[in-house]
Amino acid sequence: MTKRIPIGVQPYTVREALAEDYAGTLEKLAAIGYQGIELGRPPEGMTVGEQKAILGRLGLQVIGTHAGFNTFDFDPDGIADYLEEVGGERHVAISLMFDSLTDVRDKAAKLNEIGQRFNRRGIKFLYHNHDWEFERYEGECVIDHLMRLTDPNFVQLELDTYWIRRGGEDPAAYVGKYAGRCPLLHIKDVGHGPGQPFAEIGEGTLDFREIASAAAAAGTQWLVVEQDECGRDPFESLAISYRNLTGLGLA
């Protein structure tokens, strides 16, 4: 039997609802059954203390925070201050874009530098992939160049099952490849049909028993459900994913 890994949620899936009713959205996510959440600073008018109180009341553990897409424009010390206050220990840099192997090397050096700054504050720094990290330079995928060129003490991974498949690779195999370096795993399914649409967990083409088994063996600490775009109400999509994970014996 696969060891169960806690199931968290990335609220980008319900971003519109979160902007309209922050506390109410968190309540709905907790009611579905999610145990943890990746989040950012509280909305205007809410203190970090108030945000932390809501999370505590709902039993939602802070998995970590995310930086903006394709940018190094964030303040590691400010983020570390926030995480210390709200009760988290990870920060994820969302996918960068690359135009050459030299660019990959330069950005890997920057990731190392930022990771060292976070490490000094006791914060783990992770890199999140999309599909373009599976383009190849000199026969090697960008993601593999990045991992080879960065220090695992300073730069870890939040792999994403959907984007690995979109990149033409096997998610379970990639999780296993980076055993010990992938504490968080974004899980999302690849739908049937043209264009590889986003799908609820268990409604698409990926084998999540195999993925969860690989994650457990790799030391992954959280499976984080995210669905970038939904063909139905996003809360319904997240509920279907959680229900299907439960049916698979994974939640």
What does the DSSP assignment read for 112-141?
HHHHHHHHHTT-EEEEE--SGGGSEETTEE
CA 58 to the chain's CA centroid:
21
Indicate the residue type of 22: Y
Q: Work out whether the CA dihedral 229, 87, 159, 134 comes out positive or negative.
A: positive
Instruction: Give the global pTM.
Output: 0.96
CB 250 within 8 A of CB 2: yes
Let me know if 232 is exposed, middle or buried by CB neighbors in 10 A (0-12, 13-18, 19+).
exposed
Tokens of 193: 């049909």
DSSP letter (8 states) at residue 12: G
CB 10 within 8 A of CB 34: no
One digit per residue, pLDDT tens: the chain, 251 residues?
A: 567 899 999 999 999 999 999 999 999 999 999 999 999 999 999 999 999 999 999 999 999 999 889 999 999 999 999 999 999 999 999 899 999 999 999 999 999 999 999 999 999 999 999 999 999 999 999 999 999 999 999 999 999 999 999 999 999 999 999 999 999 999 999 999 899 999 999 999 999 999 999 999 999 999 999 999 999 999 999 999 999 999 999 98
> How far, in Å, are 26, 226, 229 from residue 19 at the CA level?
11, 17, 16
